[in-house]
C-alpha cells in the first residue's frame, strides 16, 4: 500500500462536514474514493471548526473530475458538505465563489415546482433526477423538461420567483463572503427569473442562467438563447475569473449535480452540497457552512 501511495503523487484534501457527524459518513467517503483505486493516507478531526469537520488526505493518480463525479451522489444520499482541493497550500485567499441555484441556494428543484402548476409533476421529477444524477445528457433532458411547461403564464413564474424557498443561512453566507471581499456568482441552468430574484434580494454580483422563451405572456416550451449546461457553466466561471484576474486556485464553486461537474472541476476549491433531498427531521448544515469550510486551513 505504501508503494502504491508513493506512485500516486497527486494528493487531495477532502473535508467532510455535517451537522451531526457520524463515522458512517467518513466511511462512505472513504469507500467512494477507494472504489477509484485511490489511497486514503490520513484521517483527522479538524480543530477549531464551528461545525464538526474531518479531513482526509487522499493519494489519487486519476483526474480530479473523477473524484468529484464519485463524491457528488453522497451529498444527495447523506446530509454532508464536502470540500475537495489539491494538497498544495493556498497562496492567496479566495476571490470568487460560484453557486448553483436549485437544491443549493434554493431548497428545491424549481422545474419540479413549475411542473406542479402544469399537472406533470411526476414526469418532471423523474426527468430532473435523471439529469441531476448524470444518467441523461443535460441539454436534451432540459429541453424536454422546458417543453412540458408550454402554456404556463409568465405571471406564475414571476410569483414563484418572489416566494422561493431559500436555503437557511443565505443572508449570513453572503455577508460573510462580502466582508472578506469575495465576489459571488449564481451559475444555473434554471430560468433567469429565479436567479435574478436571489441576486436582487441578497446582492450576488453575477448571474449566468438559461432564459425561457415567452410569447404573449406565456411560456412557449422553448428557450431563448443557449442552455446553461455543464460546459457553459464552466466557461462562465472561467470568463469571470479571467475578468477578475483570479487564477483557478482562488476560485470556489458550489454544486450538487452532474451539471455542476465541469464548474467544480475548474475551481481550485470544489464544494459539494445539497439542501433539498433530506427530510425535515434530518439535521442539516446551513448554507453558510460553505464560508466556514472555505476558511479552514491545513492546520
The pLDDT tens digits of the residues spanning 238-247 come to: 999 999 999 9
- The arithmetic mean of pLDDT across residues 244-261, rounded, is 96
Dihedral sign of CA atoms 263, 28, 277, 279 in order: negative
Higher-confidence position of 23 and 8: 23
Question: Quick check: is 200 catalytic?
Answer: no
Q: 278: pLDDT confidence band, cut at 50, 70 and 90?
A: confident
Instruction: Mark whether 288 is an active-site residue.
Output: no
The predicted pLDDT at position 99 comes to 98
Cell numbers 424549481 correspond to: 110
**Stretch 199-220: mean pLDDT, rounded?**
96
Whether the pLDDT of residue 19 is over 90: the answer is no
**Residue from 72, 69, 44, 43 nearest 58 by CA:** 43
Q: What is the pLDDT of residue 203?
A: 97
Segment 118-145 mean pLDDT: 93
Written as nine digits, the cell of 78 is 447523506
Name which residue leads in pLDDT, 157 or 7: 157
What are the phi and psi torsion angles at 280 (to 5°)?
-65, -25
How high does pLDDT run on average in the chain? 91
Helix (H, G, I), strand (E, B) or coil at 187: strand
Q: Tell me how far apart the alpha carbons of residues 166 and 182 are, in angstroms, rounded to a whole number.
A: 21
Average pLDDT, stretch 223-247?
96
Name which of 72-86, 189-203, 278-292 the model is least confident about.
Answer: 278-292
The confidence band for 299, taking pLDDT boundaries of 50, 70 and 90, is very low
Decide if 224 contacts 211 (C-beta within 8 A).
yes
Q: What number of other Cβ atoms are within 10 A of residue 2's Cβ?
A: 8
* Catalytic, out of 102, 229, 256, 265: 102
Query: Confidence class of residue 91 from pLDDT cuts 50, 70 and 90?
Result: low
pLDDT reading at 272 higher than 80:
yes
Between 177 and 46, the more confident residue is 177
The pTM score is 0.93
Instruction: Convert the pLDDT of each residue in 32-65 to its tens digit.
Output: 999 999 999 999 998 766 678 999 999 999 999 9
248-266 average pLDDT score: 96
- CA-CA distances (angstroms) from residue 239 to 85, 96, 208, 234, 271? 21, 12, 11, 9, 20
- Binning pLDDT at 50, 70 and 90, where does residue 276 land? confident
Spatial separation of the C-alpha atoms in residues 108 and 266, rounded to whole Å: 25
Structure confidence at residue 298 (pLDDT): 43
Q: Helices (H), strands (E): how many in the chain? A: 12, 11
pLDDT-based confidence at residue 81 (cuts at 50, 70, 90): very high
Q: What's residue 280's pLDDT?
A: 72
Q: Which residues 6+ apart lie within 8 Å of 100 measured at CB?
A: 186, 187, 188, 254, 255, 256, 257, 259, 260, 263
Note the pLDDT of residue 232: 96
Which of the residues 100, 256, 260, 288 is marked catalytic?
100
Helix axes 154-161, 192-202, angle to 10 degrees: 30
Query: Nearest 5°: phi and psi at 83?
Result: -115, 125
Amino acid at each position: 500500500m505504501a508503494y502504491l501511495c508513493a506512485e500516486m503523487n497527486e494528493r487531495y484534501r477532502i473535508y467532510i462536514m455535517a451537522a451531526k457527524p457520524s463515522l458512517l459518513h467518513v466511511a462512505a467517503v472513504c469507500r467512494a474514493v477507494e472504489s477509484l483505486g485511490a489511497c486514503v493516507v490520513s484521517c483527522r478531526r479538524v480543530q477549531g471548526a464551528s461545525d464538526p469537520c474531518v479531513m482526509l488526505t487522499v493519494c489519487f493518480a486519476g483526474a480530479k473530475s473523477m473524484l468529484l463525479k464519485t463524491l457528488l451522489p453522497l451529498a444527495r444520499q447523506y446530509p454532508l458538505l464536502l470540500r475537495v482541493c489539491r494538497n498544495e497550500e493556498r497562496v492567496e485567499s479566495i476571490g470568487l465563489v460560484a453557486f448553483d441555484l436549485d437544491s443549493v441556494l434554493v431548497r428545491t428543484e424549481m422545474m419540479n415546482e413549475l411542473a406542479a402548476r402544469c399537472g406533470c409533476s411526476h414526469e418532471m421529477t423523474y426527468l430532473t433526477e435523471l439529469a441531476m444524477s448524470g444518467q441523461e445528457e443535460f441539454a436534451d433532458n432540459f429541453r424536454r423538461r422546458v417543453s412540458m411547461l408550454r402554456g404556463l403564464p409568465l405571471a406564475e413564474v414571476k410569483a414563484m420567483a418572489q416566494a422561493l424557498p431559500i436555503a437557511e443561512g443565505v443572508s449570513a453566507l453572503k455577508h460573510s463572503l462580502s466582508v472578506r471581499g469575495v465576489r459571488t456568482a449564481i451559475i444555473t441552468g434554471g430560468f433567469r427569473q429565479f436567479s435574478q430574484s436571489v441576486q436582487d434580494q441578497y446582492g450576488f454580483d453575477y448571474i449566468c442562467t438559461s432564459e425561457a422563451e415567452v410569447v404573449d405572456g406565456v411560456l412557449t416550451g422553448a428557450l431563448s438563447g443557449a442552455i446553461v449546461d455543464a460546459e457553459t457553466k464552466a466557461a462562465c466561471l472561467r470568463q469571470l475569473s479571467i475578468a477578475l484576474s483570479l487564477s483557478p486556485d482562488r476560485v470556489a464553486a458550489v454544486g450538487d449535480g452532474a451539471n455542476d461537474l465541469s464548474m467544480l472541476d475548474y475551481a481550485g476549491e470544489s464544494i459539494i452540497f445539497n439542501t433539498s433531498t433530506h427530510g425535515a427531521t434530518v439535521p442539516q448544515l446551513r448554507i453558510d457552512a460553505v464560508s466556514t469550510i472555505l476558511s479552514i486551513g491545513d492546520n
